[in-house]
Chain A
Amino acid sequence: MNISHRPRRAAWLAIAAGAAIALTGCTADGGDPSTAPAIDIPFGATTPAASGPVDSVAWMLPAEPATFDFDIDSGAAENTVFANVCERLMAVQPDLTTVPHLAESAEWVDDTHVVFTIRTDATFHDGSPVTADDVLWSMQRHAAEGADESDEYANVTAMEKTGANEITVTLAQRDAIFIQAMAGNGGMVLNPRVVEAQGENFGAPGTPDACSGPYTLGEWKPGTSLTIEKAENYWDASREVLASEVVFRWADQSAVVNALTAGEADGSYLDSPASAIPLQSVDSVSLAQGPSTNAWVLLATERGALADERIRQALSLALDRAGIAKAAFGDLAEPSKTPIGSGAWGYERDAFEAAYEALEGAPASPSASDLEAAKELVAEAGAPDEPIVIASDGGSVRNVVSNALVAAAKSIGLEAEIATIPSAQYGDFYSDAELRGQADLFSDEYYISKNDPVGFYKNGASTASVNFVGFDDPEYDELVTQAFAATDDAERAELAIELQRRWVEATPWLPVTQSPSTVAYSSKLTGLPSSAAYLYYPWAADLGSSQG
């Protein structure tokens, strides 16, 4: 008897619980947050200026930093922290332009020689001066084989101290973006005495920083928190440093959103604009967006179905980018015609903008004529023998992108299917040819550290390591070489625009959306940059109180 009663009781309980949940669900959906008018998020390089300093700020990162030895590895978490601690020869500004910093000047003296003049008043956190010898030592460390930043020095054949405060870099060929690259981690100047004293431990928890920036590395409790503190003896007395201390913690994006909503964190540069959607209705949180070079793209692989560029062009014509921007990012991202964000337009902006507007082949939403054109391309090329396979990791953005691509393929008579790859394995697409053999396309958010489109379009050269689909155009290769040699901005912009046109035409990667940099911060704070400059610019120094 007892046995026969148990399932009955359990069933009624389950039905009652289900009904309760269903009612809750109906109520929630009935509220329909999606139909609430979207709040306009201000877009610009910075947030409004702060009116005063703040003591301690709790900041969320997407992950715990792995190391602060940037020659080993670096990502968004490490850069967000050490943008405030370390300085570089050149400096990225909130509007993503670069200016000389620890180098007073950087000049091309001829086609293959750049001279950096090092300023004499800068000091490291231990009080020792930043010298030309320290700069040379740092550059040689970054350029060493296997160092994470060594690609920035690919064209460098020699570096030497040619004066008391002068470093001369010799390049095999003119490299127009080399000076800009020195605003990234490749131009970071380290204190050799600190680095050598720490040996292999350098960059690990418990070791001091070897930098000269407005903040010093404080306590790092692995797995818990990391603190940076205002440097008392910062060499640039004219630089106002507003936040006294920033305590970093880390969590996945949903936990970051919860921490911001609950007021347990004061801010975070969000991993994805999509994370800002639930924060739009939180009164205590301000949101801002700014330019970045980030763009979501679909990278074609060597698997075979997309070997014919007409099939890639057809897919690009049929892809509903505006729909993806709406579904995956709540309209906080923009449909993109190019595989790189407009934040890369660091010079000749008007020319780039005009060229962007004129681009065809990657519509925001496919029109009837786009679909007709796409079908004609498919008819000319012939459909691939096997279905096109797009990789997803089941994450929200990739799920939307991959489903939209399948829909685009079907709309023009192509077969496509989705293969789910574990998130932890997804990054291996760049390095694992066997994994790329499982999918014709994989989606990713791509960005470059330099605000120069040439720095991106080199990826279309026939020898580029990420040109997986084998796009091979000798004229394109020649244009890349010419663009790298063009130190005149107008000339380089012209070449970059031609590269951009050819890229969009050949579509080795399909552009999807541009993702602006998105920051969420307490309404009591303001002043920080909202652009992607936070990865290299000391944003905490500008972060202060919003109330007088």
Chain B
Amino acid sequence: MTTTTADALLTRTGLTGRRRDPLFWISTGFLAVVVLVAAFAPLIAPYDPEAIDFAAIWAPPSLAHPFGTDQLGRDLLSRLLLGTRESLIGPFLLLVGATVLGVAIGIVAAWNGGWIDVLLARITDVMFAFPGLLFVVLVIAVFGEGPATAVVALALAYAPVIAKFTRSIALSELARPYVDAYRVQGVGGGVIAARYVVPNMAPALLGYLVVLFGEGLMGLATLSYLGFGAQPPSSEWGLMVQEGQDGIVLGHFGPTLVPGLAISAVVVAVNIVGVRLSERMGARA
């Protein structure tokens, strides 16, 4: 009976199951390529992404410029490749910050319960009630625009979401017998949480965080589009969309479409991977 259940679980959620999911593997492969591009962008970009060439303004795709050029004659392929770095590092950093903060709040609330739980729950509720973009713009208005502020502001906006999710899974995790067992042995709360509870929650958290990565990428691109995030001459993708939009009325769609499609493709791939991981990890947990 036990063996049958384990086999069924393996078939449904394990390696075999994923092999039957080509979209998952295509997405994972695509994201792996994107990460490699980000790592080696300076080596593979054919031009300096900030190099202005007024003789090649709005150039259509050609052998010299496979994706064409923008309003300043800058090579779109090079800008896209270099922009991968900033476009990926930003969401990664904001997710790290938001996760550290959110998981800490969620665990503390779930572990202590009582008034601490109520207080933290009310704080996160207030944060939920406050429109995310408005909160981010408020933070940027106080501390000034720029990529670092945008990352911090979005991390603060995402932390309550992660805290709420963490608290809900931590409550069920803390109800498990092994937690009481460690308590009886005199292991401290912090050690139990850090060494055992968080690692056990990690699978469930991972898929959720991957999906949030996509949201973070879109959020940062939106802020850059609005002028609050990355600053020119950066080739961050949201900023590229903003700078390219003037070409639309002139029939030059490339400078907007190229980064726009890059954002869409990465977010779709991240969502597919995130949702699949959530399903598998959630089911396994």
Interface residue ranges, A against B (CB under 8 Å): 3-4, 7-8, 10-11, 14-15, 18, 21-22, 24-26, 28-35, 254, 257, 277-278, 320, 322-323, 326-328, 392-394, 396, 399-400, 402-404, 406-407, 417-420, 422
Contacts of A407 in B (CB 8 A): 50-52
Contacts of A420 in B (CB 8 A): 145, 227-228, 231-232
Q: Are B57 and A34 closer than 8 Å at their CB atoms? A: yes
Contacts of B27 in A (CB 8 A): 11
Report the Cα distance A417→B50, complex, angstroms: 12
Given contact pairs A25-B253, A29-B252, A404-B72, a sample of 19 additional A-B residue pairs in the complex whose CB atoms are under 8 Å apart: A3-B279, A11-B27, A11-B268, A14-B264, A18-B264, A26-B61, A29-B251, A30-B60, A34-B252, A35-B60, A278-B249, A327-B57, A399-B232, A400-B72, A403-B232, A403-B233, A407-B50, A419-B231, A420-B145
Q: Are B71 and A396 closer than 8 Å at their CB atoms? A: yes
Contacts of A328 in B (CB 8 A): 71
Contacts of A33 in B (CB 8 A): 250-252
B68 is an interface residue with CB less than 8 A from chain A: yes
Can you give 29 A-B contacts (C-beta < 8 A)?
A3-B279, A4-B276, A7-B23, A7-B275, A11-B23, A11-B27, A11-B271, A14-B264, A15-B268, A21-B257, A26-B61, A28-B252, A29-B253, A254-B249, A257-B249, A278-B249, A278-B250, A320-B52, A326-B57, A327-B54, A327-B71, A327-B72, A394-B227, A396-B246, A399-B232, A399-B243, A400-B71, A418-B232, A419-B145
Contacts of A393 in B (CB 8 A): 227
Contacts of A26 in B (CB 8 A): 61
* B150-185 interface code vs A (CB 8 A; 1 in, 0 out): 000000000000000000000000000000000000
**Which residue of A is nearest B245, CB measured?**
A396
Report the Cα distance A36→B124, complex, angstroms: 57
Report the Cα distance A394→B243, complex, angstroms: 8
Q: Are A21 and B251 closer than 8 Å at their CB atoms? A: no
Contacts of B51 in A (CB 8 A): 407
B222 is an interface residue with CB less than 8 A from chain A: no
**Which residue of B is nearest A416, CB measured?**
B233
Docked complex: B36-79 residues within 8 A CB-CB of A: 50-52, 54, 57-61, 68, 71-73
Contacts of A278 in B (CB 8 A): 249-250
CB proximity of B208 to chain A, nearest CB, Å: 14
B194 is an interface residue with CB less than 8 A from chain A: no
B242 is an interface residue with CB less than 8 A from chain A: yes
Q: Are B54 and A320 closer than 8 Å at their CB atoms? A: yes
Contacts of B57 in A (CB 8 A): 34, 326-327
Report the Cα distance A400→B145, complex, angstroms: 20
Contacts of A402 in B (CB 8 A): 232
Contacts of A18 in B (CB 8 A): 261, 264-265
Q: Are B251 and A22 closer than 8 Å at their CB atoms? A: no
**Which residue of B is nearest A397, CB measured?**
B246
Q: What number of residue pairs across chains A and B have CB atoms under 8 A from each other?
A: 111
Q: Taking A26-B61, A323-B52, A394-B242 as contacts, is the C-beta distance between A34 and B68 under 8 angstroms?
A: no
Report the Cα distance A404→B54, complex, angstroms: 10
Q: Are A8 and B71 closer than 8 Å at their CB atoms? A: no
B205 is an interface residue with CB less than 8 A from chain A: no
CB proximity of A321 to chain B, nearest CB, Å: 10
CB proximity of B77 to chain A, nearest CB, Å: 14
CB proximity of B250 to chain A, nearest CB, Å: 6
Q: Are A14 and B268 closer than 8 Å at their CB atoms? A: yes
**Which residue of B is nearest A277, CB measured?**
B250
B272 is an interface residue with CB less than 8 A from chain A: yes
Contact for B231 among A396, A400, A417, CB less than 8 A: A417
CB proximity of B247 to chain A, nearest CB, Å: 9
B254 is an interface residue with CB less than 8 A from chain A: yes
Q: Taking A8-B23, A396-B71, A403-B233 as contacts, is the C-beta distance between A29 and B254 under 8 angstroms?
A: yes
CB proximity of B109 to chain A, nearest CB, Å: 28
9 A-B pairs with the lowest CB-CB distances in the bound complex, closest first = A323-B54, A25-B253, A25-B257, A420-B227, A34-B58, A396-B246, A394-B227, A418-B232, A33-B251
CB proximity of A393 to chain B, nearest CB, Å: 7
Contacts of A404 in B (CB 8 A): 52, 72
Q: Are B261 and A22 closer than 8 Å at their CB atoms? A: yes
Report the Cα distance A2→B58, complex, angstroms: 45
CB proximity of A271 to chain B, nearest CB, Å: 14
Contacts of B243 in A (CB 8 A): 399
CB proximity of B214 to chain A, nearest CB, Å: 11
* B10-50 interface code vs A (CB 8 A; 1 in, 0 out): 00000000000001000100000000000000000000001
Report the Cα distance A25→B261, complex, angstroms: 11
Report the Cα distance A483→B13, complex, angstroms: 87
Contacts of A29 in B (CB 8 A): 60-61, 68, 251-254
Report the Cα distance A22→B254, complex, angstroms: 9
CB proximity of B121 to chain A, nearest CB, Å: 28
Q: Are A24 and B253 closer than 8 Å at their CB atoms? A: yes
Q: Are B233 and A418 closer than 8 Å at their CB atoms? A: yes
Contacts of B60 in A (CB 8 A): 29-30, 32, 35
**Which residue of B is nearest A326, CB measured?**
B54
Contacts of B54 in A (CB 8 A): 320, 322-323, 326-327
Contacts of A28 in B (CB 8 A): 251-253
Q: Are B233 and A11 closer than 8 Å at their CB atoms? A: no
